[in-house]
Amino acid sequence: MVYMKQPKGFEDSLHPHHVCHLRKAIYGLHQAPRQWYTTFSNYLLKLVFQHSKSDPSLLTLCTGTSKIFLLVYVDGILVTGNDEAAITVFLNKLHNTFALKHLGDANHFLGIKIQKHQDTYFLSQYTYASSIIQQSKLTHCNSAANPSCTKLPTDVPIDPNLDDPSLYRKLTGALQYLTITRPDIAYAVNNLSQHMHDPQPIHLHLLKKLLRYIKGTSHFGLPISKSDLCLRTYSDADWASNPVTRKSTSGYCSFLGNTLVSWVVKKQSTVSRSSTESEYRALAAATADTIWLKRLLADFHIDHNHYVELHCDNTSAIALANNPVFHARTKHIEIDYRFLRENLNNNHIRLLPIKTVDQLVDLLMKPLSTPRFKMLRDKLTIIPDPFVCGGY
């Protein structure tokens, strides 16, 4: 049973000292997660933890050579550090204050399966992906090698299992969470999400193909391997890719050593008048994400003082960024222009040209042929579960 004080403004005048007996679980209250986070974080602050300046869900404790990092998401808590004895003492303090359950080494967190082998981790969402396939009633369908179509069919057959618009919205919303460990489906999910208000038969056809692709690759995920701690970023844009609004699509991804740590595919908020402008806006967005990653590394006490290599395949955008003269024709993108120039001058980033054939971000922004899609998927380190395939 759960009890709580009478809410302010709704006290019973006849029984002002009575408490309320909750008939619903505490999670039924809208303010419950916020109150829990406030209570828990205030307790950690008393233990000399510090809030991360980059991520409000990350708290750090550094005392001498001992470092503890804590990640909290509602009632899910992940603790790590370099001193096992200090972590044990900290966990004992938590158990004495809160009713927590210690689940041992991390193997599942927020639906993400975490597998460890020596110095390598593997993140996947096999169970979550399988549940989506079951909801769509496609457990016995044939798998597809590509999540997108380079050429849309003229005559689309209607699938009775997916002809409900509410099911389309439910599955598409669920697929958005799957992109946490599956950037290879980011473009397809982004495209489907833009038609949730009024899905047409062609969108239902694309959803089914994406689900068939997930059916055959549900055991795919992202490896985290031990390597150098140098950031490098790839940025690209698909100019006027939306046939209705003619807005461009931005895409960028960042690697920390050999590990893919960040990726974004997003439709730009304004219409670009040239491919150079759309590429420049994507560069500015990638730069902002890169600066955030450097600040996040600083919270882990990792100094990344040298510049970050930012790869772009548009020579005009690179020339514009390196040109110190501000032209009137770039006045409408002045903020992005000055932001990128400032980070270039401060040696936070360094723009490097890259061939279009080597541009990794193409997988995040446009439908590709199956051979090229698989090649870029391998370069983005999206691989099958190595434990299923016989180990590393």
Please state, rounded to an integer, the average pLDDT across all residues of the chain.
Answer: 87
pLDDT attached to residue 28:
60
Q: What would the pLDDT profile of 110-119 be if each residue is shown by its tens digit?
A: 889 999 888 8
pLDDT attached to residue 392:
47
pLDDT attached to residue 254:
94
Q: What would the pLDDT profile of 200-238 be if each residue is shown by its tens digit?
A: 888 899 999 999 999 999 999 999 988 888 999 999 999
Per-domain residue ranges of the chain = 3-104, 125-219, 227-360
Give the tokens for residue 211. 């689900």
Task: Pick the closest to residue 203 from 133, 145, 156, 134 (CA basis).
Answer: 156
pLDDT attached to residue 334:
64
pLDDT band at 386 (very low <50, low <70, confident <90, very high): confident
Task: Pick the closest to residue 235 from 362, 148, 343 (CA basis).
Answer: 362
| Helix, strand, coil % over all residues of the chain, rounded to 5 | 40, 20, 40
How is domain 227-360 classified at the architecture level of CATH? Answer: 2-Layer Sandwich (3.30)
Distances (CA, A) of 358 to 47, 202, 326, 363: 48, 31, 31, 11
pLDDT attached to residue 286:
93
The number of angstroms, rounded, from the C-alpha of 217 to the middle of its chain's C-alpha atoms is 19
Give the tokens for residue 98. 């809160």
pLDDT band at 101 (very low <50, low <70, confident <90, very high): confident
Distances (CA, A) of 193 to 74, 139, 157, 168: 26, 23, 21, 10
pLDDT attached to residue 58:
92
